[in-house]
Amino acid sequence: MSSIIGKKAPHFSAQAVINGGEIVEKFSLNQFIGKQPVVFFFYPKDFTFVCPTELFAFQEKLSEFEKRNCAVVACSTDTEQSHWGWLQMEKKAGGIKGVKYPLVADTDKTIAANFGVLFGDYEIDEHDIISATGPMIAFRGLFLIDSNGIVQHQVVNNFPLGRNVDEALRMVDALEHFEKNGEVCPANWIKGEKAIEESHESVANYLAKI
C-alpha cells in the first residue's frame, strides 16, 4: 500500500449503479475534472455489516457535500448486479435502499489495486498455479480528489473500523479554504475558524492563542 497524495487519481472506466438503481457503462471520475472535487471511497463488500452504516452515513450528509459542490462516489469489488440488488433491499432487511450516489463495480479489482487499497495479490507457484494471498477485497480507503484530478487527502482503515463522515466534510472544507484563500488549516480546524498564513510569524501567533 502506498500513498498517491499529490498525484493524479488513477483513471478507470467501469460499470456503476447511479441514482439508486440505474446501471451505466463506462463510469469514470473524469466527468468531474474541471468542475468539482470528489470524495471517492472504497468499502469491502455488499451485504455486510459495517459497510451499510458508512453508505447510509454518506447518504445522510450528501446534501452537505452537494452544498460544497463536492461529488460522492463509492466503490467495491462486487459486481454491478450485486450493487443493484443491495440497493433494492429495504434498510430493515439489510439493504441500502435510498442511497443515491454512484456505486462503482470494481469486478476485476484493478481500481482498488491502482488506488493502493486492495487486500491481497495474485501469486504463481512453480507449477503455474495461481493463488490469492488475501481476500482480494478493498480496505476502507477514502480519497479527496480536487477539481484538477489531483489526490489531496487519503485515509485507509482496516475492515472493522468505520469512517467518520464529518471528518471527510472537514477535509472538503479545508481544501476549499486553502484554494480560495491560500491559508493553511491547522489541527482540528473547522469551517469558520481562523486559518494560518504560511509564515513563521503567523504560526507563532496562532500557537500563542491555543
Sequential DSSP letters for 23-74: EEEEE-GGGGTTT--EEEEE-S-SS-SHHHHHHHHHHHTHHHHHHTT-EEEE
CATH topology of domain 14-163: Glutaredoxin (3.40.30)
In the chain, CATH 3.40.30.10 covers 14-163
* Gyration radius of the chain over CA positions: 19
Q: The C-alpha cell of 18 is what?
A: 447511479
What 8-state DSSP symbol labels residue 205? H
Residue 199: pLDDT over 70 = no
Res 122: pLDDT: 87
Residue 1 has pLDDT above 60, yes or no: no
pLDDT band (50, 70, 90) for residue 197 = confident
**Helices 50-60 and 165-181, packing angle to 10 deg:** 40
User: What pTM, to 2 d.p., does this model score?
Assistant: 0.93
Span 72-98, average pLDDT = 97
Catalytic residues: 51
Residue pair 136/77 in contact (Cβ under 8 Å)? The answer is: yes
